[in-house]
Chain A
Amino acid sequence: MSSLTLDHVTKIYDDDGEDVVAVDDVSLEIRDGEFLVLVGPSGCGKSTTLRMVAGLESVTSGEIRLGETAIDDRKPQDRNIAMVFQSYALYPHMTVRENMRFGLEESTDLGDDGIDDRVEDSAGLLGITELLERRPEELSGGQQQRVALGRAIVRDPEVFLMDEPLSNLDAKLRSQMRTELQRLQEDLDVTTMYVTHDQTEAMTMGDRIAILDGGRLQQVGTPLECYHEPANQFVAGFIGEPSMNFFPVERDGDVLRGDGFDYPLPPEVVDRIAAGAGDDLTLSVRPEAIAVADGPGERRFETTVDVVEPMGDENNVYLQFPGIDGTFVAVVDGYERVERGDTVTVEFPADRIHLFDRATGEAVLDRSLTRETAETETGRTI
């Protein structure tokens, strides 16, 4: 077991004489036994990063270290890394047993019995013992997924790499496998780098999340850090479902002037705004922070209901300021009776708003967290 370090790693592709930067100066440390989720929209360079760690892509500049040893000039087979692919990539002409044996036969000098013991142990761990003599084509998607995992686990590698391993499963199986994979990783305690485009997977599975956009690392932190204290507007919009609401505003002293509303800032919030912040800002508030109010007041706004999406215990309600195009979304209690066309007064609580610089996207104000919530919710003490 060891930690995995990416030190100023850059990948530049040559696309018909033009340089394309796929991964731009990414530095990241995955601690020993940690589950790190690399998340971002498609084309953000997350898979390329993973493939560089695996040795399937060369590193243009920078260094990848396993423990203290640089591994970026080693061949994939000499890195002691196992990878689970999105397509599972099972060998179709081999049985499950042969699929799992293959890596041990090629990379170790274990005897036949030793290999069989390890295959059967891993198969038992994953509950696929009864599938050992079947071929991949006879297995369901979920079973193939387990075999792909088994093929990685049986090698007992220093690092697991997983490239969207759950994205070919249906929703129900995916959430089940999510839990199972987490439990498995905790039991095995193997350093894991997990790539996904799904922020739910990132939030629920990772010890820490690394968010990538356009080849650049945006933020690394625990899921709750990224949720409550997003470093910039991209992270704020990417993490959380439904997405955070953004309103372009001009700061005019203690008031934020937006399109169709004015938002007065209380003094304790003004004090917390980063020094040197400009006046062109983005006011941001999470849908779940918006509260339905029973009457007019400060930071309360009258809105019209555009669309209601019932989710059961809560509703996603799309609201409109009167006379203004464009909606924003609020999550309200499922028992709250709201219908299209209703007029609803909502409050953006002052301690739940974020402000981002409109030019750079950098955060200039995070929502406030009391000391207790800061410690438990953001996981700083963990």
Chain B
Amino acid sequence: MSTDTDADPETTSAATSRQGDGARTGGGIDLKRVSLYAVVAVMAAFYLAPLWTGLVTAFKTQDAFFGTTPLAPALPGTEGFTVRPWLEAWAALLPGIVNSLWFTVPAAVLSALLGSLAAYGLTNVDWRGQVALLVPFVAGVFIPYQSVLVPLTQFWNWFPLPVGGLAELAITHVAYGVPICTVLFRGYYLTLDEEMLEAARLDGASIYRIYLRIVLPLSKPMFAVALIYQFTNIWNDLLFALVLAPPNAPPVTIALNQFKGSMVNQYNLQMAGAFIAALPTLIIYVLFGEQFARGVAGET
């Protein structure tokens, strides 16, 4: 005991450098923990800096933007502070947000639903040639957007939909989303208790009824995963939108892109617009966050 309390700072720090535990019993600072927190703090700062910069920029006037460093905020009440960019961006983006919702919501729901159905048929129902059909589904996950742009535009030029370009965009996203959704749901359906599905068959339920009454209700967490994933992907997509969206009904990503001026960049407007455009995906995460976590963890 006495050696511990008697130890002067020099010997304590010497002990610390020799072995970590010695420092803790001596009431000193755990170096391991300190360095861990330091690394965490640096990484947090690194990842949050762009977000922070964007946020403070969105509240600055154009003059304040040029007159201050990007990280310094303009405080409310000071000359450089303004909410105008938010109002302007909101007004400019609102039609785009509506357009985007028009095709994103149906496309996300439909691709999740079709993916779930396909996964059920390929996983829990027994028939010949399943693997042969599963292969193109899996392959579909790995086809990059860029590689299909030309055939895609040709296709929709040959078979244009009378209801307009947003529907074409929705169908394209559904077709593109079904493979990944199928793979997601299949992983989950492989873990379903086979005896339970057999029990349902013996109970007199048809394949379709088993899906509707047993598999679908048990898929809720997986639907949260698929919906969040699909919604985010489709909402944020610019490439298909540039090629397929009708000029009179641009999605939010195109509307946001148009904030990029030809002569002067209004960074505050662009930043506010970016935050507003990201808002719906944030709301979806908050709404389905708990189910999402359970789905990812593979719970039911």
Residues of A participating in the B interface, judged by any CB pair closer than 8 Å: 54-56, 75-77, 81-83, 85-87, 89-93, 102-103, 106-108, 151, 155
> Would you call B195 and A54 a contact (CB within 8 A)?
no
CB <8 Å contact, B198 and A56: yes
Indicate whether A106 sits within 8 Å of B199 (C-beta atoms), given known contacts A89-B193, A92-B300, A93-B217: no
Q: Which residue of A lies closest to B204 (CB)?
A: A107
Q: Which of A89, A103, A106, A107 sits near B196, CB closer than 8 Å? A: A89
Q: Does B148 contact A (CB under 8 A)?
A: no
Q: In chain B between 3 and 54, which residues have their CB closer than 8 angstroms to a CB of chain A?
A: none
Instruction: Identify B199's interface contact among A85, A93, A108, CB under 8 A.
Output: A85
| B143 CB contacts on chain A under 8 angstroms | none
Residue pair B202, A83 in contact (C-beta under 8 Å): yes
| Nearest CB in chain B to that of A161: its residue | B202
Q: Is the interface of B mostly helix, strand, loop or mixed?
A: helix
CA distance A89 to B205 in the complex (A): 15
A151 to B217, CA, bound (A): 20
| CA gap between A83 and B197 in the complex, in Å | 12
How many Å from the CB of B207 to the closest CB on chain A? 10
Chain B residues, Cβ within 8 Å of A155:
203
Q: How far is the CB of B260 from chain A (nearest CB, A)?
A: 49
**B175 within 8 A of partner (CB):** no
Tell me the minimal C-beta distance from A235 to chain B in angstroms: 30
Q: Which of B199, B206, B300 has the most CB of A within 10 A?
A: B199
Q: Are B204 and A77 in contact (CB under 8 A)?
A: yes
Q: For B200, what are the chain A residues with a Cβ–Cβ distance below 8 Å?
A: 91, 102, 106
Q: Tell whether A89 pairs with B201 under 8 Å between CB atoms, given A77-B206, A102-B213.
A: no
Majority-rule SS of A interface residues: loop
Residue of A nearest to B300 (CB): A92
Is B196 a contact of A90 with CB atoms below 8 Å? yes
Using a CB–CB distance below 8 Å, which chain B residues touch chain A?
193, 195-196, 198-206, 209, 213-214, 217-218, 300
Contact check, A89 vs B204: say whether CB atoms are below 8 A apart: no
Name which residue of chain A comes closest to B216, CB basis: A93
Q: Which of B199, B204, B217, B300 makes the CB contact (< 8 A) with A83?
A: B199
Point out the residues of chain A lying under 8 angstroms from B202, CB to CB: 54-56, 76-77, 81-83, 103
A106 touches B205 (CB 8 A): yes
Interface centre among A54, A56, A86, A90 (most CB of B within 10 A): A56
Given A77, A91, A93, A108, which contacts B201 in the complex, CB threshold below 8 Å? Answer: A77
Q: CA separation between A54 and B201, bound complex, in Å? A: 10
> A102 to B209, alpha carbons, bound, how many Å?
11
- Let me know if A103 and B203 touch, CB within 8 A: yes
- Complex contacts, A81 vs chain B, CB 8 Å: 202
A91 touches B204 (CB 8 A): no
Is there an interface contact between A77 and B205, defined as CB atoms closer than 8 Å? yes
Contact in complex: B218, A92 (CB < 8 Å): yes
Q: List 28 A-B contacts (CB under 8 A).
A: A55-B201, A56-B198, A56-B201, A75-B201, A76-B198, A76-B201, A77-B202, A77-B203, A77-B206, A82-B202, A83-B198, A85-B195, A86-B195, A90-B196, A91-B200, A91-B214, A92-B196, A92-B300, A93-B217, A103-B202, A106-B203, A106-B204, A106-B205, A106-B209, A107-B203, A107-B204, A108-B204, A151-B199
